């Protein structure tokens, strides 16, 4: 077994026992709790494998493929029995991971299963900033979830986000409109991803995920658009274009269900990637 394979196996073990509590800013919490439910999206950012996710015996995320960002799912508070299977092997087979978890009310969040800077599967939860955007403006957020070094994000050829490292995010408010953006290695003009034209509509928050592996040459972008920043926000999967968000202040813990589910995905993906590589 190579050094990288041993690191992947160790990361798998760590991911399987990870417990996560994420804080919610007041604006996001109040929106999510209007109907007493959590609003949760899940991003699958580990290249190479498809899985099925079951909750209380029902298939929740079938054929969950790398690069997929789910639309926001409203979840009732309660206890969920989560089972994760390799694609097509559930629900009567032996789950790779099984866990009962509690889902509390409230939150607008995206949970990302991705690679860390060294290429090991990991899990990061991001609270989506749903606060109001000034008239004529849009919010742009970049989340670095790729196995890659620090990067700069450029708009129109000029750096607007500098030295962003995995698994961090940065955001800013910009005039609404179309922006040509790319991702370069920090402090250089070496393009890692892009360029891509970003349509930043007024009153929206566009989040771009830089994901994949530089070593495996499969770096890519995934975007998420949250609209209605002057009212109740609704998350929309906006496709494969690119864009940038904000470091949010903390308040209360949320989303045990999604944490467990995405941790399971990350752990299972690591095992299957290891087998596939045959290192």
Judge whether 103 lies within some domain.
yes
Domain identity same for 13 and 92: yes
How high is the pLDDT of residue 268?
46
Angle at 130 between CA 146 and CA 172, to 5 degrees: 60
Does residue 242 sit within a domain?
Answer: no
Domains: count for the chain: 2
Structural domain boundaries, residue 58: 3-125+250-277
Residues 86 and 150 in one domain: no
pLDDT of residue 134: 93
25 and 159 co-located in one domain: no
CA 28 to chain centroid: 17
Given pLDDT bands bounded at 50, 70 and 90, which one contains residue 264?
very low
Percent of the chain topping pLDDT 70: 63
Give yes or no: residues 169 and 76 share one domain: no
The verdict on residue 60 lying in a domain is yes
Tens of pLDDT, residues 94-120:
775 565 655 556 767 777 778 899 988
Res 12: pLDDT: 37
Residues 67 and 146 in one domain: no
Q: What is the CATH number of the domain that holds 231?
A: 2.60.40
Residues 55 and 154 in one domain: no
Judgement on whether residues 104 and 211 belong to the same structural domain of the protein: no
Q: Which of the pair, 96 or 56, is modelled with greater confidence?
A: 56
Q: Is residue 20 part of a domain?
A: yes
Whether residue 140 sits in one domain with residue 117: no
In a domain, residue 243? The reply is no
Interhelix angle for 3-16 vs 256-277, to 10°?
Answer: 160
What is the pTM assigned to this prediction?
Answer: 0.70
Q: pLDDT tens across 181-239, in order?
A: 999 999 999 999 999 999 999 999 999 999 999 999 999 999 999 988 864 444 444 44
Q: Compute the average pLDDT of residues 72-85.
A: 73
Is residue 244, in this structure, part of any structural domain at all?
A: no
Q: What is the tens place of the pLDDT at every residue in 156-173?
A: 899 999 999 999 999 999
Is residue 33 domain-shared with residue 61, that is, in the same domain?
Answer: yes
Q: For residues 254, 33, 232 and 72, what is the CA-based torsion angle, rounded to 10 degrees?
A: 50
The tens digit of pLDDT for each residue in 17-54 reads: 333 333 333 344 444 445 778 777 888 888 887 778 77
Contact between 138 and 201 (Cβ < 8 Å): yes
115 and 11 co-located in one domain: yes
Residues 94, 32 share a domain:
yes
Residues in the chain: 279
pLDDT value, residue 235? 46
How far is Cα 235 from Cα 6, in angstroms, rounded to an integer?
Answer: 38
Do both 55 and 77 map to the same domain?
Answer: yes
Q: Is residue 46 assigned to a domain?
A: yes
pLDDT on residue 28: 42
Q: How far apart are CA 90 and CA 215, in angstroms?
A: 33
DSSP state of 119: S
**Residue 128 clears pLDDT 50, i.e. is over it:** yes
Assigned domain for 196 exists? yes
Residue-wise pLDDT for 129-145, tens only, equals: 888 999 999 999 999 99
């Amino acid at each position: 077994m190579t050094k990288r394979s041993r690191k992947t196996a160790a990361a798998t073990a760590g991911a399987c026992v990870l417990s996560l509590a994420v804080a919610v800013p007041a604006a996001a919490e109040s929106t999510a709790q209007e109907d007493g439910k959590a609003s949760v999206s899940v991003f699958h950012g580990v290249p190479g494998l498809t899985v099925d996710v079951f909750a209380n015996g029902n298939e929740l995320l079938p054929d969950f493929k790398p690069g997929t960002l789910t639309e926001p799912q409203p979840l009732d508070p309660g206890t969920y029995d989560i089972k994760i299977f390799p694609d097509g092997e559930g629900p009567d087979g032996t789950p790779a991971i099984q866990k009962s978890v509690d889902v509390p009310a409230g939150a607008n969040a995206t949970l990302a299963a991705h690679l860390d800077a060294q290429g090991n599967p990991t899990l990061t939860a991001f609270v989506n900033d749903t606060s109001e955007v000034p008239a004529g403006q849009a919010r742009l957020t970049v989340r670095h979830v790729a196995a890659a070094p620090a990067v700069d994000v450029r708009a129109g050829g000029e750096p607007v986000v500098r030295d962003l490292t995995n698994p961090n995010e940065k955001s800013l408010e910009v005039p609404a409109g179309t922006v040509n953006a790319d991702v370069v290695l920090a402090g250089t003009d070496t393009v890692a991803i892009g360029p891509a034209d970003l349509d930043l509509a007024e009153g929206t928050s566009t989040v771009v995920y830089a994901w994949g592996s530089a070593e495996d040459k499969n770096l890519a972008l995934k975007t998420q658009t949250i609209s209605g920043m002057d009212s109740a926000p609704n998350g929309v999967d906006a496709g494969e274009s690119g864009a940038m968000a904000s470091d949010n202040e903390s308040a209360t813990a949320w989303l045990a269900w999604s944490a467990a589910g995405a941790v399971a995905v990350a752990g299972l993906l690591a095992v299957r990637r290891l087998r596939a590589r045959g290192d």
